[in-house]
Amino acid sequence: MINLFCSAFLLGLLFNVAPGVVFAESLRRGLGGGYGPALAVQIGSLAGDLTWAVLGLGGAAVLFRLPYIETPLAVAGSILLAWMAWQAGRDALGPCPAVPTGASGGLDRSALVSGAALSLSNPLNITYWAALGGTIAALGVDNPDGRAFAVFLGGFMLSSVLWCFVCAGLIAWARRCLGPRLWRGLNGACAVGLAAFAGLGFWKIAFGG
C-alpha cells in the first residue's frame, strides 16, 4: 500500500503542476491580490477534484457520458471559461495594481468560488479519474478493494493540498517583479488561454470529437 500511496502522490503532482485553467485563474487572481487570492482559487478547485475523484473511482463515469447530463455541464463550463477570459482581458487593459509591502489578506471568497466552479464544471475530470481507477491494478494491487481506492485517493489529494500552497507561494514571489508590461502580458496570456479552452469546449459541443 505504501507503493500505491507514493504512486498516487506522484500522479497528483503531475496532474496539478500541468498548466491549465485553474492555474491561469490562480495567476490572474494572484497578480492582483497576492498570496491569499491565489491560494483561494487552488483550494476551491480541490472541492471539484475531490467530487470528481469520488464519482470517477466509484464508477459513475458512465452516467456522466450520457448526452443529457454531459452536454449541459459542458455548456456551463465553457460559459464560465469565456467569462473568466473576459475578466482577464479587462485586467490586461486596466492599470497595474500597486503591490503592498505588507502581508496579503486572507482567503478571497470569490476566488474560492471561482476555483470550485472551474473544477466542478469540467466533466473531463471524471473521465480522468475513471481511467486512473483502472490503473490501480497495474500499480501492483491485485483485486483492488475500497481500502486500495482510499489509499490511492489519499495520496493524490495530499499532493494536491501541498501544491496549493507551493503554487500560491510561487505566484506571490513572482508578483514582486510585477510591472505594467508584465501585468498586461500575463493577464493577456491568461485571457488567450482561457478563451482558447472556452472555444474548444464550444467546438466540441457543436461538432463533437
Q: pLDDT at position 22, please?
A: 83
CA–CA distances in Å: residue 169 to residues 42, 68, 101, 151, 166: 11, 40, 15, 28, 5
Residue 159 lies in a domain: no
Q: pLDDT at position 100, please?
A: 52
Over residues 88-116, the pLDDT tens digits come to 888 888 776 665 544 455 566 788 888 88
On the question of pLDDT at 148 being above 80, the answer is no
The x, y and z cell numbers of residue 159, run together, are 499532493
Dmax over CA atoms of the chain, in Å, equals 58
Q: pLDDT at position 162, please?
A: 94
Q: pLDDT at position 155, please?
A: 87
The x, y and z cell numbers of residue 37, run together, are 487570492
Residue 77 lies in a domain: yes
The x, y and z cell numbers of residue 71, run together, are 452536454
> CB-hemisphere CA count at 13 Å for 36?
12
- What's the total number of domains in the chain? 1
Q: How confident is the model at residue 158 (pLDDT cuts 50, 70, 90)?
A: very high
Residue 119 lies in a domain: yes
Residue 1 lies in a domain: no
Give the Cα separation of 169 and 59 in Å (integer): 35
Give the Cα separation of 132 and 161 in Å (integer): 19
Residue 156 lies in a domain: no
Q: How confident is the model at residue 178 (pLDDT cuts 50, 70, 90)?
A: low
Residue 152 lies in a domain: no
CA–CA distances in Å: residue 148 to residues 57, 136, 151: 11, 8, 5
The x, y and z cell numbers of residue 176, run together, are 514582486
Q: pLDDT at position 135, please?
A: 57
Query: Domain range spanning residue 97?
Result: 14-146+165-207
Q: pLDDT at position 103, please?
A: 45
Give the Cα separation of 181 and 100 in Å (integer): 18
Average pLDDT, the chain: 75
Residue 160 lies in a domain: no
